[in-house]
Amino acid sequence: MTDAIAQRQWMPLDEVGEPFRTRLLEVFHDMPRTHAQPAHFDLSNSSDAGNGRQLWISGQVPRFENVVRYQGVVGLDVSIDTACDAARLSLINLLSILAAACGGDLSRVDKFIRLTGYVRSTSDFSEHAKVIDAASEIINAVFGERGRHVRSAIGVASLPGNASVELECVVQLKPPQTS
């Protein structure tokens, strides 16, 4: 792993190692190639946890390149189907950060521990879980049993960039293989 990859906090998913690259490309046909590094915080941070480490990934909105897609309020001007698309795009960004933390080797994922999803919605909207299911289903499909996670789906009044969905997660990583 080069120093540039080790220091990078976001990686395009088409640079991920196999077999995960193929799985991800089957699910996601249109993926961003760039991501802005925030000035005042990291996209992820890790802590030691037993023989591996826990990786905490900052909240990700449905940003494609430098544009937040799927803006608005679910139940008012954003449909459930569109909100599910927003959750999927937010997940692409989460997985890109995870990939960078693993140097592109997603086989280092030992367990998805927690996924938290925020849905910007009207006060009478009650399908938050259905929206976040769009992300959970992909995590389970890509990572199998290691993708099973605990989860919260929370309704909120606003999100950054007028986004309709935001996701954050905690993942347990295996130690890197040493040669």
> What digits encode the pLDDT tens for the residues 7-20?
578 888 888 999 99
Asked whether the predicted pLDDT for residue 111 surpasses 90, the reply is yes
pLDDT of residue 6: 41
pLDDT of residue 52: 64
Over the chain, what is the mean pLDDT? 89
For each of the domains in the chain, give its residue range(s) and CATH number, in order of start: 3-30+44-173 (3.30.1330.40)
Nearest to 170 by CA among 120, 98, 104, 118: 98
Pair of tokens at residue 142: 């890509």
Proportion of the chain above pLDDT 70, given as a percent: 92
Asked whether the predicted pLDDT for residue 36 surpasses 80, the reply is no
Q: Which of 40-54, 73-87, 94-108 has the highest mean pLDDT?
A: 73-87
Q: Are strands 150-156 and 67-68 parallel, antiparallel or unpaired?
A: unpaired
pLDDT of residue 74: 98
In angstroms, the CA 15 to CA 21 distance is 7
> What digits encode the pLDDT tens for the residues 21-34?
898 888 887 877 77
| Sequence-ordered list of residues with C-beta below 8 angstroms from that of 90, at least 6 positions apart, any chain | 60, 61, 62, 135, 163, 165, 166, 167
Helix (H, G, I), strand (E, B) or coil at 80: helix
In angstroms, the CA 3 to CA 103 distance is 10
